[in-house]
Structure 1
């Protein structure tokens, strides 16, 4: 267990639970797994666990919590940061514990469970929640800025500028991220819908 294990720290407990089950079963049978077997099993888990963990936490859960924190911070200041820290901590510890139990239940079958693609599809689909949060943040920003600039049109102009800047950054830096592209696309749709609504009311 002292060899190099390159994986996502939040989902590595799935492999830890599986390895614990393998060792427990071997000792119950009166033996112990070989070091070579443990190392091969760890290597087989390392890459898929890293990929699933990155998609689930860095591309889904963290953006969702960030958008939620920004939305709260717009109206409740420091509570946004508190919600982010506490909420993300609760989620990651709950996921770690659940994955350890799942790894214990599966044992050697954990490799097949990772190959079926269900976990990755779940991680990718959760990006829709991030897109929804992004739209809510955009609307909140527009109305919050209105309180400072005094005119909804000026507030929307500022929001368009900020969103255009973020869109340009996404295009240049992370063009291959489907989740971020969806977030930006829905944010633009939300902004244009809001503009049409304001124009119909005050135009």
Structure 2
């Protein structure tokens, strides 16, 4: 059995749910409540030494880090590929995906925001912090999509589109104006109508707990 340990509103977990759904992979979900601190339990750290989500249990392995999980899924279940085997296309896809997963999202995630709160930063300033870094990253990403569209990956979605969807969800949570990013808004809208992407949405995942 394939088991995904995740939290419904975690961006990294959301990415993996999208990839699993796009590949048509059946799996069970086990919720790890980040707001209750369940990520720090011995059970979760036994699966994921960083104490993060998601973790995918598959083929006798426990794999953390969303991009590592999706890379494994690409190797095991190659249709559809999230990252092309063509070197140039692969590099462009990873550049976009990492701009989100390594540079934008971590700066505004829950553990960072909690640390800001512990340092006495008030809620309004914490939200401003998140909007600043999200906006800076999205401005760069707006120029990085493949020219033909409608997805960032071109005519078909790729790993960068899988990463974009949760990031746009977060931008809206922080009430960011998105008028300056029409390319990203269009790619996100193209993803949203795909049944697999809709099935992975946090609103459909929030109350699923096993």
Q: Mark the structure with the bigger radius of gyration.
A: 1
If the length of structure 1 is used for normalisation, what is the TM-score? Answer: 0.28
- Name whichever structure is richer in strand by fraction: 2
- Could you state the TM-score of these two structures normalised by the residue count of structure 2? 0.27
Q: Name whichever structure is richer in helix by fraction.
A: 1
